[in-house]
Amino acid sequence: MREIIGRLAETHSLTVEEYEALIEGRNDEYAGLLRKLAVRVRREIYGDAVYVRGLIEVSNICRNDCYYCGIRRSNANCERYRLTDDEIYACCDEGYGLGFRTFVLQGGEDSYFDDEILGGIVRGIKSRHPDCAVTLSMGERSYDSYEFLRECGADRYLLRHETADPEHYARLHPPAMSWDNRMKCLEELRSLGYQVGCGFMVGSPYQTVRNLAEDLKLVETFRPDMCGIGPFIPHKDTPFRDFPAGTVELTCYLLSIIRLIHPAVLLPATTALGTVDPVGRERGIMAGANVVMPNLSPVNVRKKYELYDNKICTGEESAQCRECLSERMRKIGYEVVVGRGDFAGNDTPHDRV
C-alpha cells in the first residue's frame, strides 16, 4: 500500500484496481500518509489560501426527480420558491461587500430560468461586478444554451457526474435521466471554455468500492478544474430516506486521493461534510480541500433549499456565515482569501489562467 501511495503522489495515476485496493485497505496510518502528501502538494500550489465562493440558491423548483434529492419534483412537502432577478443581484451586492469575487448560482432545473432570463441575470451580475467570476450550477441544458450562457459571461459550471458507473447512475435517477447525457453535458461545457466541475456523493445508495474507484479514475482522465464531493445524507421525504449517510472519514480519505491525482484541482469542503460532522469542513481542508462555499442566499429561503436533512447554515445571515468560516479556517491555520480563485493548473490544454 505504501508503494501504491508513493506512486500515486509521483505519477498522479493508478489503475482502477489499485484505487479499489487503496479504498478497501484504508486505515488510520494510510489516511495520515495521504493527508500529509495531499497537504504538502496543495501548499506548493496554493499556500495556505482557502478560496471562498458565495453560494446563491436561486430556486428549489425542479423538473427532475433524482431519488436522493430533497427538492425533487415528487416531494410534495417541499415549499417551493424562486428568487427574483433583483433578489439575486442584492445577494451578489451584499456578497461583493463581504469580499466575494465568485458567485455560484445554484438551483433545481426550473424552466423559468430559460436562456433569456438566466443569460440576462449573468449579464447583470457581470456588468455590476466585472471583476467577479460567475459559476452556474443549474443542471443539464442543451449545447446551445451552454454556449449562449457562456457568451453572456458565465465563467464556470458545476455539474456533478454523480457516479462514473452508468448502472449505478440508473439506480439513483429515474429513467428519464441518463448517464450518457450527463457526460455529454460535461464534455460540451469543457469544449465551450468553461472551467468545469464534476463530482459525486460519498456513500450514495448502492455505491460500491468499485464505483468509487471508477469515480477516481474519471477524475484522473477528465481532469476537471473543480471537483465537488460530499457525503450522501438522506432526506426524510425521498425514496432514499432509510439509507445511511456517507462518512466524513471516507470523504476526507477520497479528498486526499483526489488532491494527489490532480494537484491543482479546486476542491470544496462541502456543506454536506459540515452537516455530518460539526468540524467536517475543517477536516476536509486538512485532508486536502481548498475551497469553502458560504451561503449568500436570503435567510428566509435557506431552509427551503433542503437537499438533505439537518442542512447547516440555514439560520445565519451572509455576513455571519462568511465570518464563521473565516474564523474556522483561521483556527486551523488557513486563511480565507479574497479573489476570483481561478484554477491554478498549467498542466492541461484547457487552462485559462
- Please give the biggest Cα pair distance in the chain: 55
Nearest 5°: the CA angle 292, 48, 35 is 80
Stretch that binds ligand FES, among 1-9, 66-74, 119-127, 212-220 (CB under 6 A): 66-74
| Smallest distance, ligand FES to C-beta of residue 81, A | 13
Instruction: Name which of 139 and 280 has its Cβ closer to ligand SAM.
Output: 139
Listed residue (248, 306, 303) closest to 278, CA to CA: 248
* Identity of residue 125: I
Stretch that binds ligand SAM, among 39-47, 118-126, 137-145, 337-345 (CB under 6 A): 137-145
CB contact at 8 A, 224 and 216: no
Q: How far apart are CA 301 and CA 28, in angstroms?
A: 40
Stretch that binds ligand SAM, among 80-88, 166-174, 232-240, 330-338 (CB under 6 A): 232-240
Helix (H, G, I), strand (E, B) or coil at 196: strand
Q: Which of 49, 83, 105, 159 binds ligand SAM (CB under 6 A)?
A: 159
Q: Which of 100, 146, 169, 308 binds ligand SAM (CB under 6 A)?
A: 308
| Smallest distance, ligand SAM to C-beta of residue 275, A | 9
Q: Is 235 in the site for ligand SAM (CB under 6 A)?
A: yes
153-164: burial string, b at 16+ Cβ within 10 Å, e else: bbbbbbbbbbbb
Decide which of ligand FES, ligand SAM, none touches 100; Cβ closer than 5 to 8 Å per partner kind: none
Q: Is 108 in the site for ligand FES (CB under 6 A)?
A: yes
| Smallest distance, ligand FES to C-beta of residue 145, A | 17
Binding mask 212-231 for ligand SAM (x = CB under 6 A): ------------------x-
Q: Which of 12, 16, 48, 64 binds ligand FES (CB under 6 A)?
A: 64
Q: Which of 71, 189, 248, 289 binds ligand FES (CB under 6 A)?
A: 71
Hey, which bits of the chain come out as E strands?
A: 49-52, 54-59, 102-107, 133-137, 156-158, 195-202, 226-231, 291-292, 335-337
Q: Is 129 in the site for ligand SAM (CB under 6 A)?
A: no
Q: How far apart are CA 325 and CA 304, in angstroms?
A: 22
Phi and psi angles of residue 104, each rounded to the nearest 5 degrees, phi first:
-110, 115
Q: How far apart are CA 24 and CA 212, in angstroms?
A: 10
Q: Is 179 in the site for ligand SAM (CB under 6 A)?
A: no
Q: How far apart are CA 248 and CA 284, in angstroms?
A: 8
Q: Which of 26, 35, 53, 72 binds ligand FES (CB under 6 A)?
A: 72
Q: Which of 106, 207, 290, 295 binds ligand SAM (CB under 6 A)?
A: 106
- By rule CB under 6 A, what count of residues binds ligand SAM? 19
Bridge partners, residue 100, by sequence? 339
Listed residue (107, 248, 74, 82) closest to 173, CA to CA: 74
Q: Is 243 in the site for ligand SAM (CB under 6 A)?
A: no
Stretch that binds ligand SAM, among 47-55, 141-149, 155-163, 319-327 (CB under 6 A): 155-163
CB contact at 8 A, 337 and 51: yes
| Smallest distance, ligand SAM to C-beta of residue 249, A | 16
In the chain the first and final C-alpha atoms are separated, in Å, by 36
Looking up cell 471554455 gives 193
Q: Is 233 in the site for ligand SAM (CB under 6 A)?
A: yes
Hey, which bits of 14-75 come out as E strands?
A: 49-52, 54-59
Q: Which residues would be at the binding site for ligand FES (CB under 6 A)? A: 62, 64, 66, 69, 71-72, 108-109
Contact footprint for ligand SAM (CB under 6 A): 68-69, 106, 108-109, 137-139, 159-160, 162, 201, 230, 232-233, 235, 272, 307-308
